[in-house]
Amino acid sequence: MRWRRAVLAWLLIAAAESVHGTLRRLFLEPMMGDLPARQLSVATGSLIILLIACLCIRWIGARTLPLQIGTGLLWAGLMLAFEFGLGLALGYDRARILSDYDPARGGFLAVGIAFMVMSPVLAARLRHFG
């Protein structure tokens, strides 16, 4: 297992998700509105994460279930720090950022983060690795 490679794979995920978020704001939000666009983006973003995980899982070398879950937890922790940091840098208050994670307020990002934790496991199974 190569943790540096896991971090580099996460950087690819973060870059792809940043582009994904920009495209959501430019194209989906004007058509659907803010909340529905964010909700749909959780599903499409999860597919992006799974694709990158499938492409990188062998390179990362997470052969065992604990290493795969550890990789997913690393990615989720880094993504949460990135999202909160970016949200605060863009001027959103904590309540607005947290609303994305609260299903009672229509936010599904907690599901996306849980999917991110499990994506290395799913990728390893799909790629018959480990």
**What confidence category does residue 51 fall into, taking pLDDT thresholds of 50, 70 and 90?**
very high
- Mean pLDDT, rounded, of the chain: 97
User: What pLDDT does 1 receive?
Assistant: 78
Instruction: Give the whole-angstrom CA distance, residue 83 versus residue 70.
Output: 20
> pTM of the prediction?
0.94
Q: Where are the chain's structural domains?
A: 3-126
Report pLDDT digits (tens) over 54-94. Answer: 999 999 999 999 999 999 999 999 999 999 999 999 999 99
Distance of CA 108 to the CA centre of its chain: 12
Instruction: Give the whole-angstrom CA distance, residue 106 versus residue 69.
Output: 27
